[in-house]
Structure 1
Amino acid sequence: MRISYRNIKRYKEIIRILIKYGFSYIVEKLNIEGVAYKIPITNPSEEIKQMSTGEKIRRAFEELGPTYVKLGQILSTRKDLLDQDIIDELSLLRDSVEPFDTDIAKEIFKEEIGLDIEKVFNEFNPNPIGAASIGQVYEAKLQNGEDVIIKIQRPNIESRIKSDLEILKGMVLAFKDSNKHSSIDVIQIIEEFQTQLMRELDYNFEAINAMKFRKMFENSREVYIPKIYGEFTTKKVLVMEKIIGIKLNDAEKIKELNWDTKIISDIGIKSLFKQVFEYGFFHADPHPGNIFVVSQNTISYIDFGMVGIVDRNTLNALNEIAVALVEKNVDRVIYILTEMDVINNEVDIIGLRQDLLYLIHYYYDVPIEKINISDIMNEVFRFFRRYKVSIPSQLSTLAKAVITLEGTGRDLNPNFSVSSIGKEFMKHYYINKFNPQNAFLKSKHMTEEIISDMKTIPKQMRGILRNIEKNNIKIQLEDIKFASLEEIMRDLTTQVSLSLVLAAIIVGSSLIISSPNITNNIWIRFTALSGFFISFIIGILIVVKIIRIQYKKK
């Protein structure tokens, strides 16, 4: 492995820590030219030898600094890649480091805002209330008396993280070259990690996320999102409204105030599903330290550096899988996973089907109040690792968020069960499924897809015919199912014909209704309205036809 000599000191530090915690075989495999041979490979101490692999990795990441702490936190969400004992250890990683000098923080604030910190704030507490790997947090009071918190980024942290990322990418490429048959796409993981980390280095991203959440819950009495002061927010400085409340995991203090912990835990679950189902945008790090209880009926999220996004197609697939599991339809589950392109060609489908069927029947008849969602998720992810099912990272992040909230919910309310999550899931599922606006949008998207196909299919057919004419395509006739092909072409022709008629009637009716004579002649008005009515019927027929075709595929 070749190295960048401007980072030679950091390479040596990384190698020393890897060897210290018994990962010398990684150093040997990477074969870092000009560095590794200068550092003697020694046996780890007896204390380290007694540690589990997960604890060794966690300790090494903590010593390696902020970049690796963040990497560990992100890897702790990837249950589809790592064993549970390693996940448990990585989940303990926290951004707790030594604070840096407040005078330096004031200088950074002035460089970013252009004003002394004392001129912006009426009061400023020079003792930081939190010191994380990327930034430091202070309490202050604006000139108008509003309480705020200030995040100020650590000096030179960006350059250090960029150097670490450069080294990490080099190590990952070397690892990939020496493990070409590995099923884990380490390059993709590092690229996702780099994107996430670079966003966390820019507080503008966190500010935008907070403003989106504030808009999302602006009419809610159950969830409050702190205000962002944009005039005092830059890449390295963030000023946010201070939330005064009790941390979500402080159940004793909440009970002392006689607040109903069941209501509070239910609000947490409902708020998560609102984020996921209605917006496809959710808080990806809802651990108890990031959620405050501000009253007996209101919670507040803070720290919006990590968010998750679930696109509509993935969410629909997730809904379909949930329904298929309820119906014990294993083949349907496998079909959906195949459509999502998460099952590769080398997977043992017969074994996958048998094990999935066993998994479903194992949990199906268990009383719902006795089911722990963490156990289910862990079992599912072990199952995915065994069959090399590479689920989207957004679903891993969502699963981690649900598990985190369930754990907190059980701390608050001993009677909390997975049924609370299940009921909320099905409620949002059916609300979204039968929402007239969503149904209209789905029909609109289907129509747009048909029109798009009408435009592209002729071009594709011309391209295929051109290649056939040039003898660039070899067709094995025995592999073609002509009956199936004829049926597909007939269905496609019917859809195209109906769509053309639909488009013609809508355009014609629109031209008629815009005519200046429409108010003078009742027959002209009747013709226009009839056209719209007929187009509505044809639109329904197209949707029914598409649904029937999709049903036949299943």
Structure 2
Amino acid sequence: MVRILFRHGFGYLVNQLGLGHLVPFHWGLLGHPRRARPYTQAEHLLLAFEELGATFIKLGQILSTRSDLLPPDFITELSKLQDAVPPEPIALIEAQIAQELGGPARALFASFDSDPLGSASIGQVHAATLVTGEEVVVKVQRPGVAQLVEADLAVLMDFARLAQARTVWGQIYDLPGMVEEFAWTLRAELDYIREGRNAERIGRNFTQEPSIQVPTIYWKYTTRRVLTMERIGGIKINDIPALEAAGIDRHELAVTGVRIVLKMVLEDGFFHADPHPGNFLVKPGPSIGLLDYGLIGVLDERTRQNLLYLFLAVVDQDIDGVIDRLSALGIVGTASQFERLRRDTEHLISLYWGLPLKEVDVQGMLAEFLATARRHRLTVPSHLALTSKTLSMHEGLARQLDPGFNAADVLGPYARELALRTYLPQYWVRRVLPAMRDLSQLAVTLPRRADRLLGQVERGNVSISVRVQETEHVLDSLNRMVNRLILGILAGAFTIGIALLLQIYRAAGIERVVRWLLGAGFAAVGALGAWLIYAIFRRGHH
């Protein structure tokens, strides 16, 4: 890995990490393919990731979603990464199937095509027919790929820790945390049972939507390393001549695709995050068949609501609303960083000020917000970056279908309709019921917990640690405060006592002189109270 990075022009990085001694001198000069135009640094990174293999191709694809971390030229180059490699020999694939499903492919399936439909770094896909007659595709994981991925992840983690310890940029970003998050994502892609469940969940979310087709999963023929699903036919979404020949309305198809992703992101909070053209097959209607559920984005309800209002703020060109929602979405930074972000956002929105909605490039604005966050070194949550990339890719597909398409035409009305639903009674019932359950549980458990706490206090098992600065000054102030508090309590007690005695003596017909003495005492207590009030106000002014 070090040698590959060095050969592709990243020797400065290798040296910063203190690993230059691992690279012979000639590796920096030889073995590099020549061309008339020099390679850019971004192109070198693309070539290095392709050469490093499966794990780094996946890493590059994830990094291509992080416009908050990388400059635009790197994002553009990494977006070109294609996870396509020569297929494994059919004998190894059949051995993997036999090990996972408990029998040879020729016995388990009525037919099994030995030539794959597609081959990627983690697995490859074969057409097959079940003994019951259903046409399916069988996705088989390459033997040994899980062990290779774990080894690569260990190397990546070592690099991340070195960068964090030895470089300035490594200290700005939580690189080990990013590698851990990437490792979780990649391990999830290696689990085909999880992928099958992802498909079923998206299918349930669209049971009332004829515009999307999700393949059926055949669990009898599915394990962590083999996935068998319904074979979906259709036209590749970016095959414009074939779509025209089939009489499919491209504008309607573009609108359908954008509405599908908006529903997944803003309503379901569970979205397909790998929207390249090969994963969308179109049938007349139009309906879209969705393939490959390995990479999924998940958003909680609060994030979805903040995203919804962020989109509305962008469409309405509300600068303060945009900044407030970006902060609520978890973009972390100092007050000065946010102030600079606000100025840049104001400039960006001013470019669109007064334009018709159809001329507002919503996804372009969101991408620019993330790039601005990168310039100001604001921390952007990875799920937000993935969401932005997914939406941008969907808009890109829509514009391939219809060059005049603008997402704002769909996003604005959709977001406003969705926002109006938050005022409906059923929405509030759904929100309030969990809160009521929490309150009822708290009402039951609070007395018990308070009793346990008081018991620990009585037994001396609770200690309170107080850190005091300028101790003498604080103690002096505390002493005066306590003295006044005691005087106030005594004055109050005397006042109540004298008032009660006056009532008693009046009722008993006691001599006037006694009542006069009690009245004098009452006046004295009143004077003491007045002095306390004066002292407190005088102290407050100082």
1:203 aligns to 2:192 (yes or no): yes
- How far residue 184 of structure 1 moved from its aligned partner, in angstroms, is 2.0
Aligned residue for 1:16?
Answer: 3
Aligned residue for 1:318?
Answer: 307
Structure 1 371/341 Cα, relative in aligned 2: closer, same or farther at 3 Å?
Answer: closer
1:175 aligns to 2:163 (yes or no): yes
Amino acid at match of 1:282: F
Provide the C-alpha distance between the structure 1 equivalents of 2:358 and 2:324, rounded to a whole number of angstroms: 30
Amino acid at match of 1:394: H
Matches within 5 A, 1:264-279: 264-279=253-268
Aligned residue for 1:519?
Answer: none
Provide the C-alpha distance between the structure 2 equivalents of 1:453 and 1:327, rounded to a whole number of angstroms: 41
In the alignment, which of 145, 152, 159 is matched to residue 164 of structure 1?
152
Alignment RMSD (CA, Å): 3.1
In the alignment, which of 61, 66, 72 is matched to residue 78 of structure 1?
66
Structure 1 412/336 Cα, relative in aligned 2: closer, same or farther at 3 Å?
Answer: closer
Provide the C-alpha distance between the structure 2 equivalents of 1:437 and 1:89, rounded to a whole number of angstroms: 47
In the alignment, which of 127, 143, 153 is matched to residue 115 of structure 2?
127
In the alignment, which of 36, 46, 50 is matched to residue 22 of structure 2?
36
- How far residue 340 of structure 1 moved from its aligned partner, in angstroms, is 4.4
Q: Does the 8 Å contact 1:152/1:236 carry over to 2?
A: yes
- Number of residues of Structure 1 aligned to a counterpart in Structure 2: 463
TM-score (norm 1): 0.77
* Structure 1 runs not aligned, ≥5 long: 1-13, 477-554
In the alignment, which of 4, 8, 14 is matched to residue 27 of structure 1?
14
- Structure 1, residues 197-235: CA drift from partner, whole Å, max 9, x if none? 111111111111111112222232111111111000011
Aligned residue for 1:101?
Answer: 89
Matches within 5 A, 1:244-393: 244-325=233-314, 328-345=317-334, 347-393=336-382
Q: Does the 8 Å contact 2:363/2:388 carry over to 1?
A: no
Structure 1 445/329 Cα, relative in aligned 2: closer, same or farther at 3 Å?
Answer: farther
Amino acid at match of 1:161: V
Amino acid at match of 2:18: N
Provide the C-alpha distance between the structure 2 equivalents of 1:89 and 1:388, rounded to a whole number of angstroms: 22
Q: Does the 8 Å contact 2:221/2:227 carry over to 1?
A: yes
Q: Does the 8 Å contact 2:312/2:412 carry over to 1?
A: no
Q: Does the 8 Å contact 1:273/1:428 carry over to 2?
A: no
1:233 aligns to 2:219 (yes or no): no
Aligned residue for 2:530?
Answer: none
Aligned residue for 1:398?
Answer: 387
- How far residue 90 of structure 1 moved from its aligned partner, in angstroms, is 0.6
Q: Does the 8 Å contact 1:269/1:424 carry over to 2?
A: no
- % identity of equivalent residues: 31
Amino acid at match of 1:187: P
Q: Does the 8 Å contact 2:113/2:127 carry over to 1?
A: yes
Structure 1 113/91 Cα, relative in aligned 2: closer, same or farther at 3 Å?
Answer: same
Secondary structure in 1 matching 2:139: strand
Provide the C-alpha distance between the structure 1 equivalents of 2:410 and 2:383, rounded to a whole number of angstroms: 19
- How far residue 43 of structure 1 moved from its aligned partner, in angstroms, is 2.9
- How far residue 41 of structure 1 moved from its aligned partner, in angstroms, is 4.6
In the alignment, which of 139, 145, 164 is matched to residue 151 of structure 1?
139
Structure 1 348/276 Cα, relative in aligned 2: closer, same or farther at 3 Å?
Answer: closer
Provide the C-alpha distance between the structure 2 equivalents of 1:216 and 1:26, rounded to a whole number of angstroms: 46
Q: Does the 8 Å contact 2:200/2:216 carry over to 1?
A: yes
- How far residue 421 of structure 1 moved from its aligned partner, in angstroms, is 3.4
Amino acid at match of 1:66: A
Q: Does the 8 Å contact 2:312/2:416 carry over to 1?
A: no
Provide the C-alpha distance between the structure 1 equivalents of 2:37 and 2:11, rounded to a whole number of angstroms: 13
Structure 1 268/88 Cα, relative in aligned 2: closer, same or farther at 3 Å?
Answer: same
1:472 aligns to 2:460 (yes or no): no
Matches within 5 A, 1:419-438: 419-423=408-412, 425-438=414-427
Q: Does the 8 Å contact 1:245/1:292 carry over to 2?
A: yes
1:68 aligns to 2:56 (yes or no): yes
Q: Does the 8 Å contact 1:225/1:302 carry over to 2?
A: yes
Q: Does the 8 Å contact 1:266/1:420 carry over to 2?
A: no
Please, which moves more after superposition, 174-183 or 193-202?
Answer: 174-183
Q: Does the 8 Å contact 1:343/1:388 carry over to 2?
A: no
- Structure 1, residues 466-495: CA drift from partner, whole Å, max 9, x if none? 99985514499xxxxxxxxxxxxxxxxxxx
1:89 aligns to 2:77 (yes or no): yes
Secondary structure in 1 matching 2:28: coil
Provide the C-alpha distance between the structure 2 equivalents of 1:147 and 1:396, rounded to a whole number of angstroms: 37
Amino acid at match of 1:43: L
Secondary structure in 2 matching 1:363: coil
TM-score (norm 2): 0.78
- Structure 1, residues 227-260: CA drift from partner, whole Å, max 9, x if none? 1110000111111111110011112111111111
- Structure 1, residues 175-215: CA drift from partner, whole Å, max 9, x if none? 11012564222122111110011111111111111111122
In the alignment, which of 185, 192, 199 is matched to residue 174 of structure 2?
185
Provide the C-alpha distance between the structure 2 equivalents of 1:470 and 1:226, rounded to a whole number of angstroms: 60
Structure 1 452/350 Cα, relative in aligned 2: closer, same or farther at 3 Å?
Answer: farther
- How far residue 332 of structure 1 moved from its aligned partner, in angstroms, is 4.5
Amino acid at match of 2:433: K
- How far residue 63 of structure 1 moved from its aligned partner, in angstroms, is 0.4
Structure 1 452/380 Cα, relative in aligned 2: closer, same or farther at 3 Å?
Answer: farther
Please, which moves more after superposition, 259-268 or 60-69?
Answer: 259-268
Structure 1 139/398 Cα, relative in aligned 2: closer, same or farther at 3 Å?
Answer: same
Matches within 5 A, 1:457-468: none
Provide the C-alpha distance between the structure 2 equivalents of 1:174 and 1:338, rounded to a whole number of angstroms: 31
Structure 1 154/246 Cα, relative in aligned 2: closer, same or farther at 3 Å?
Answer: same
Provide the C-alpha distance between the structure 2 equivalents of 1:333 and 1:221, rounded to a whole number of angstroms: 34
Structure 1 367/153 Cα, relative in aligned 2: closer, same or farther at 3 Å?
Answer: same
Provide the C-alpha distance between the structure 2 equivalents of 1:335 and 1:286, rounded to a whole number of angstroms: 29
Aligned residue for 1:9?
Answer: none
Provide the C-alpha distance between the structure 1 equivalents of 2:279 and 2:104, rounded to a whole number of angstroms: 29
Q: Does the 8 Å contact 1:127/1:138 carry over to 2?
A: yes
Secondary structure in 2 matching 1:299: strand
Amino acid at match of 1:472: V
Aligned residue for 2:38?
Answer: 50
Provide the C-alpha distance between the structure 1 equivalents of 2:248 and 2:422, rounded to a whole number of angstroms: 35
* Structure 2 runs not aligned, ≥5 long: 471-542
- How far residue 383 of structure 1 moved from its aligned partner, in angstroms, is 1.2
Q: Does the 8 Å contact 2:86/2:119 carry over to 1?
A: yes
- Structure 1, residues 273-303: CA drift from partner, whole Å, max 9, x if none? 2222322101001221101102232111011
Q: Does the 8 Å contact 2:211/2:285 carry over to 1?
A: no
- Structure 1, residues 35-54: CA drift from partner, whole Å, max 9, x if none? 61556452364549811121
Please, which moves more after superposition, 359-368 or 141-150?
Answer: 359-368
